[in-house]
Amino acid sequence: MKRYLPFAIIAGVFLIAAGGGTLFYFSERQPVAQAATSIGRAGAEPPHVRGPANASVCLEEFGDFQCPPCIALFPVLKKVESDYGVRLCVTFRQFPLAVHRRALEAARAAEGAGLQGRFWEMHDVLYQNSWVWSRVPDHHALFAQFAQTLGLDVERFKRDMESEQVNSRIISDQQRGASLHVDRTPVLFINNRRVPIGALNASGLHAEIDAVLNPKTH
């Protein structure tokens, strides 16, 4: 069974990538909003933003790909993005925690993919397969397999993962998080207002977003 596991993983990633192809095609070709950075210090530029430039609500997430609460929040945020469509844009900031021994390498993988225009695809694959790469003996090989499945230049991806450009982006996001007193993950801001921990769920996020969209009714 173990000898076939890598092939099963790659097949699964291929289906994820193929199934989400239309969404990625659409989202990458829309004008995207710049991250709301009117508070705190600037993070990595350009930021990773998914959503239209004229979105009424900007959600900024500080996340860690190996963080269990972040992993649990991932499908919730995907559903929220779908629910609000063009009214919402989402920015992801790297905030790998030292307590998660492979989180920094996963952040590097996402940023390495980002240098080839596939940040969000790798972001999604890392969260969807966190139970695999966080446990296999050779996670670097698995990251390379993900990159290959997503159509990246794998040798460039490997170099980029270790590059100063990737390292600087991660540090910039961490410094932005520190300036906003981020001390855990996930931490979310909606239009520059920190979302309470108790609202990091589907109903809570809907309430927070609705309060921005319809302030007179809240």
Of the candidates 99, 97, 126, 96, the residue with the CA atom closest to the CA atom of residue 110: 126
Express each pLDDT in 157-169 by its tens digit.
999 999 999 999 9
Q: Amino acid letter at 209? A: I
Of the candidates 52, 58, 57, 59, the residue with the CA atom closest to the CA atom of residue 86: 52
Query: What pLDDT does 2 receive?
Result: 46
CATH number of the structural domain spanning residue 98: 3.40.30.10
Per the CB < 8 A criterion, the answer to whether 111 and 166 are in contact is yes
Q: Mean pLDDT over residues 110-127, rounded?
A: 98
Concatenate the DSSP letters of all residues of 33-85 into one string: PPP--SSS---SSS-EEESBTT-SEEEEEEE-TT-HHHHHHHHHHHHHHHHHG
What is the C-alpha separation between 152 and 32, in angstroms, rounded? 23
The residue segments making up the domain with residue 148 are 2-217
Per the CB < 8 A criterion, the answer to whether 40 and 96 are in contact is no
Element (H, E) at 94: strand 88-94
Reply yes or no on whether the pLDDT at 35 is more than 50: no
**Number of domains present in the structure of the chain:** 1
- Is the pTM above the cut of 0.85? no
